[in-house]
């Protein structure tokens, strides 16, 4: 006796199972192996042709190519491979498209800074300040050093505070105080950077009078921005340390503070170091808070406790905002400073990766 | 070295929740005491009160007395850290410190407490501890490698070596074999039989054969009923618990007729 599935055109008889779930076939057809890249290539070529040949707006051309590819590949896939594969291809196309869109500004910024920044990216640029320079020449030696000093001091202030706060929150904090601290750290994360700058200015104005400008003020302003980042990332890293390790240490009669210092922190060190480095990278390019606290100067000043200092971001802004005549050397210097800043941030990111590799707990025997 | 532990009318709380009620028992030195019972009846909780690890949980507390050779471990003057110095612990899951080598793991109890020790003494301590954990021959050529690279059974023996390296009087083991294969389990059971020459050992286990194999005395924990606190039902020589227990619940449990 054969069991045929109940057909849909007649009502299910009593005693018969009312619904039979559709079961997909085990095999289905598949597109040729190079179908997707080929279709993509074709549509990209079409888009390019529209852009170059038909003088179409590049955004519209790109959009046409993307939509065209998606529709073709999905339709084709649906007819050959079935709906599940077609969905897969659709979502793949959307996800990849979103990624490309996100990448676009990044690449474009990098390209612009690279092409324009290289103009003045020479030895002169790193060996000279702007002292007495009104036209061509000059450099950002003073600004580079200023950035390193101001950011370094900011790190010096924020890392201990942030680290200790995170340790308190994860290892010791219970109840209301910990909740308040967490809340205020969250609030601090959202402070606009100019507000941090004004706060630092107002603070120092109390002691030194109106119009005060010092490198350390910038460090304080940057710390306000940096501390919550350090707290947050350190907190996450400390939470990742398994509780078993704390228990193991406590069971060996190690006091809690020493457990934190010698077991928890070393275990989380790689992550903490990465977090700190990324926090530094996050604030090193800040302009607004430095503009109102550190100001700008054209000569070397490496004393953060005395008067204005130059920093790369403010230098770049300053060169761009108030060019002389002719403006080209000023714009070139602005771009070169921006490029230098990107290189510093990139170096910091690489450093973070290196640190996390060096300090990561080793698992292989 | 080995010390006797007496527990008198111990009630164990998590905040307001009474987890274990009215435990009284005597744990003899130089013997293995096994605690058996169904999940959630408070065996592990009870074990953790013996070296004051229980109170690391926020708001956890106990009432009653735990005496080690007559000294109340919960006395007002007693430093919980000092208690843990006398009573070591091995956990259910092997937990070697991932940042440390095998060598450093063994001497962690010494190093983390900043005790100064000569290099040669340290080497001797490592060898002695690893030998007493039956691990020396397997790792003697790679002492500088990370401890987390060992197999699960080796890691657990490393943790035992770490616990005995600080020379405690009592060793608590919370289901030390539950994550291990039979061969590693065998190795650790043999180890327990050797260690009981020197230490007082208390082991929590879900494996009744294991309790029967290694222990001299067995305590059976149970919940009176759902929602009630757990407690010690019966404690006796292991052979008697597994042959002619005096309590019906114990008999049901050890013969597999439980629940």
Task: Find the CB nearest A255 among B81, B111, B166.
Answer: B81
CB contact under 8 A, A247 and B113: no
Cα–Cα distance, A277 to A344 (Å, whole number): 11
In this prediction, residue A363 carries a pLDDT of 57
Task: Find the CB nearest B146 among A255, A267, A363.
Answer: A363
CB contact under 8 A, A263 and B97: yes
In this prediction, residue A345 carries a pLDDT of 92
More confident residue, A33 or A237: A237
Task: Find the CB nearest B113 among A245, A253, A364.
Answer: A253
In this prediction, residue A29 carries a pLDDT of 78
In this prediction, residue A15 carries a pLDDT of 66
Task: Find the CB nearest A363 among B51, B98, B166.
Answer: B98
More confident residue, B258 or A145: A145
More confident residue, A110 or A22: A110
End-to-end CA distance of chain A: give it in Å, rounded: 63
Calculate the average pLDDT of chain A: 88
- Residue A1, pLDDT > 60, answer no
Residues of chain B below pLDDT 70: 1, 258-259
| Alpha helices (runs of H) in A30-122, residue ranges in sequence order | 35-52, 58-81, 83-117
Q: Are A220 and A196 in contact (CB under 8 A)?
A: no
CB contact under 8 A, B109 and A252: yes
Helix (H) or strand (E) holding B173: strand B170-174
B161 to chain A: closest CA residue: A252
**Angle at which helices B152-165 and B119-132 pack, to 10 degrees?**
130
- Using an 8 Å CB-CB cutoff, list chain A residues near B95: 242, 244-245, 247-248
Two tokens, residue B163 = 């616990």
A248 to chain B: closest CA residue: B95
Calculate the average pLDDT of chain B: 88
Report all structural domains of chain B as residue ranges with CATH numbers, in order of start: 5-95+169-254 (3.40.50.300)
CB contact under 8 A, B84 and A248: no
Cα–Cα distance, A268 to A264 (Å, whole number): 6
In this prediction, residue A2 carries a pLDDT of 47
- Residue A78, pLDDT > 50, answer yes
Q: Quick count: other Cβ atoms within 10 Å of Cβ A84? A: 11
pLDDT tens-digit series, residues A16-60 = 667 777 777 777 778 888 888 888 888 888 888 888 888 888 888
> SS in 3 state form for B137-162?
HHHCCCCCCEHHHCCHHHHHHHHHHH
3-state class of B202 per DSSP? Answer: strand
CATH 1.10.3720.10 maps onto chain A at 127-359
Cα–Cα distance, A250 to B87 (Å, whole number): 11
Instruction: Give residue A365's pLDDT band: very low, low, confident or very high (50, 70, 90).
Output: very low
Best to test chain B binding among A173, A252, A362 (most B CBs inside 10 Å): A252
| Predicted complex ipTM | 0.87
pTM comes to: 0.81
Could you tell me which of B79, B78, B74 has the C-alpha nearest to residue B10? B74
In this prediction, residue A186 carries a pLDDT of 92
pLDDT tens-digit series, residues A297-311 = 888 888 889 889 999
- Using an 8 Å CB-CB cutoff, list chain B residues near A258: 112-114
Cα–Cα distance, A96 to A119 (Å, whole number): 35
Task: Find the CB nearest B97 among A245, A251, A258.
Answer: A245
CB contact under 8 A, A259 and B95: no
Chain A nearest C-alpha distance from B155 (Å)? 12
Domain at A127-359: CATH code: 1.10.3720.10
pLDDT tens-digit series, residues A248-270 = 999 998 999 999 999 999 999 88
């Amino acid at each position: 006796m054969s069991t045929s599935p109940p057909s849909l055109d007649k009502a299910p008889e009593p005693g018969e199972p009312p619904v039979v779930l559709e079961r997909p076939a085990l095999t289905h057809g598949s597109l040729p192996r190079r179908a997707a890249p080929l279709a993509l290539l074709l549509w990209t070529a079409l888009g390019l042709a529209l852009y170059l040949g038909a003088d179409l707006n590049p955004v519209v051309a790109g959009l046409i190519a993307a939509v065209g590819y998606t529709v073709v590949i999905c339709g084709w896939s649906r007819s050959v491979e079935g709906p599940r594969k077609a969905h897969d291809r659709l979502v793949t196309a959307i996800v990849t498209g979103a990624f490309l869109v996100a990448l676009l500004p990044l690449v474009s910024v990098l390209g612009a800074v690279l092409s324009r920044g290289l103009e003045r990216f020479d030895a002169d640029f790193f060996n000279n300040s702007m002292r007495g320079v009104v036209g061509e020449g000059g450099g950002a030696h003073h600004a580079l050093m200023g950035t390193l000093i101001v950011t370094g001091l900011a790190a010096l202030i924020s890392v201990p505070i942030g680290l200790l706060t995170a340790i308190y929150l994860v290892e010791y904090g219970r109840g209301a105080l910990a909740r308040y601290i967490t809340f205020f750290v969250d609030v601090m994360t959202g402070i606009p950077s100019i507000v941090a700058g004004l706060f630092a200015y107002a603070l120092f104005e109390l002691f030194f009078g109106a119009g005060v400008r010092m490198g350390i003020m910038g460090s304080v302003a940057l710390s306000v921005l940096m501390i919550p980042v350090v707290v947050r990332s350190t907190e996450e890293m400390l939470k990742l340390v398994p509780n078993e390790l704390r228990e193991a240490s406590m069971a060996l009669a190690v006091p809690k503070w020493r457990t934190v210092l010698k077991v928890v922190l070393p275990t989380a060190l790689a992550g903490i170091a990465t977090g700190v480095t990324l926090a530094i990278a996050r604030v090193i390019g800040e302009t607004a808070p430095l503009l109102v606290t550190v100001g700008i100067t054209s000569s070397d000043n490496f004393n953060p406790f005395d008067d204005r200092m130059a920093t790369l971001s403010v230098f770049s802004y300053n060169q761009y905002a108030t060019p002389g005549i002719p403006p080209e050397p000023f714009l070139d210097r602005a771009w070169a400073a921006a490029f230098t800043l990107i290189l510093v941030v990139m170096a910091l990111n690489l450093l973070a990766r290196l640190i996390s590799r060096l300090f990561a707990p080793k698992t292989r025997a | 070295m080995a010390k006797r532990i007496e527990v008198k009318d111990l009630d164990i709380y998590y905040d307001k929740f009474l987890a274990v009620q009215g435990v009284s028992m005597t744990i003899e030195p130089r013997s293995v005491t096994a605690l058996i019972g169904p999940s959630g009846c408070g065996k592990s909780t009870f074990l953790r009160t013996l070296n004051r690890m229980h109170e690391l949980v926020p708001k956890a507390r106990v009432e009653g007395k735990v005496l080690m050779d007559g000294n109340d471990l919960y006395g007002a003057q007693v430093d919980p850290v000092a208690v843990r110095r006398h009573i070591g612990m091995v956990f259910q899951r092997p937990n070697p410190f991932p940042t440390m080598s095998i060598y450093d793991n063994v001497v962690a109890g010494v190093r983390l407490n900043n005790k100064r020790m000569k290099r040669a003494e340290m080497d001797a301590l490592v060898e002695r501890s690893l030998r007493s954990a039956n691990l020396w021959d397997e790792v003697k050529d790679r002492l500088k490698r990370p401890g987390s690279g060992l197999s699960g059974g080796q890691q657990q023996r490393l943790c035992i070596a770490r616990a005995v390296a600080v020379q405690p009087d009592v060793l608590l083991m919370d289901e030390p074999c539950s994550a291990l294969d039979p061969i590693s389990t065998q190795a650790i059971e043999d180890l327990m039989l050797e260690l009981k020459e020197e230490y007082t050992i208390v082991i929590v286990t879900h494996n009744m054969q294991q309790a029967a194999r290694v222990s001299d005395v067995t305590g059976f924990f149970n919940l009176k009923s759902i929602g009630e606190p757990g407690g010690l039902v019966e404690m006796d020589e292991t052979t008697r618990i597994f042959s002619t227990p005096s309590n019906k619940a114990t008999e049901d449990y050890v013969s597999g007729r439980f629940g």
